[in-house]
Amino acid sequence: MNNRRVVRLDKKYVMHTYSRIPIAMERGEGVRIWDSDGKEYLDFISGIGVNAVGHCHPEIVKAIESQLKKLLHCSNLYHINPQAKLAEALCEVSFADKVFFSNSGAEANEAAIKLARRFGSKLGGRRYEIITMKGSFHGRTLATLKATAQTKYQNGFGPFPPGFKYAPFNDLKGVKKAISSKTCAVMLEPIQGEGGINVASETFIRELRQFCHKEEI
């Protein structure tokens, strides 16, 4: 089908979350993509920021094909060899002790929120508040929308789960002011994307980490 027919079919049957550009992408290779009319484009947004090695990298395609021929899906009731090996590799090149795999950033942040509140419950049961930064973006589930300190994303989706407070970005004094005896975690992006490409200073990150460690946050 050409662009026009795909767009018409898509608008009729797909529930959109964004206003889509009237182009139907068909295939990609490296940094280039082609639409259903055969027109070629340079992909400056890397898919949605996830195609770090380009479209259809032969090694990635090979790995996916190999796994598809062995096992398509497995319940997390069982141990999975490639998953264990990947977790080991990620821990070896990062600060992490363990890895939690998820399908999206919102799910990862939901897990982080739950872990933080479980941590808070073990410290007395009254520590459940999470401090996030003004201008932040953490996802589109109900909890992560509430963690996102931008009303333009929240409008029309309330009421939200309680227990979130907002502090100024890159302002240690402001974060400390927001923290209370109910605080279990501080959640932030080292570089805010949706907030306008705001970069946290190394001093802010380091001193905030030290403060949180001292206060068992």
Q: What percentage of the chain carries pLDDT values higher than 70?
A: 100
Structurally, the chain folds into a number of domains equal to 3
How many C-beta neighbours within 10 Å does residue 211 have? 15
Residues 202 and 126 in one domain: yes
Residues 85 and 128 in one domain: no
Residues 84 and 137 in one domain: no
Residues 81 and 96 in one domain: yes
Specify whether the CB–CB gap between 106 and 140 falls below 8 A: yes
CATH number at residue 208: 3.40.640.10
Of 53, 83, 101, the residue at which a domain comes to its end is 101
In the predicted model, what is the mean pLDDT of the chain? Answer: 94
Expressed as residue numbers, the domain containing 86 is 71-101
Closest CA relative to residue 131, chosen from 83, 169, 88, 179: 179
Say what the pLDDT of residue 185 is. 97
Residues 54 and 146 in one domain: no
Phi/psi of residue 112, nearest 5 degrees: -65, -40
Each residue's pLDDT tens digit, 109-126? 999 999 999 999 998 778
Of 20, 49, 70, the residue at which a domain comes to its end is 70
Residues 125 and 186 in one domain: yes
Residues 113 and 183 in one domain: yes
Phi/psi of residue 148, nearest 5 degrees: -75, 115
The strand pairing partners of 132, in sequence order, are 166, 187
DSSP SS3 for 185: strand
Of 20, 48, 70, the residue at which a domain comes to its end is 70
Residues 12 and 48 in one domain: yes
Instruction: Give the model's confidence band at 46: pLDDT under 50 very low, under 70 low, under 90 confident, else very high.
Output: confident
CATH number at residue 28: 3.90.1150.10
Each residue's pLDDT tens digit, 69-92? 999 998 989 999 999 999 999 999
Residues 88 and 119 in one domain: no
Q: Which two tokens stand for residue 87?
A: 């977790």
Residues 88 and 47 in one domain: no
Cα dihedral sign, 41-138-100-68 = negative
Residues 16 and 111 in one domain: no
Say what the pLDDT of residue 18 is. 83
Q: What percentage of the chain carries pLDDT values higher than 90?
A: 87
How many C-beta neighbours within 10 Å does residue 44 have? 6
Strands 32-35 and 40-42, how do they pair? antiparallel
Q: Compute the average pLDDT of residues 167-191.
A: 96
Residues 146 and 202 in one domain: yes
How many C-beta neighbours within 10 Å does residue 186 have? 23
Would you say residue 49 has pLDDT above 90? no
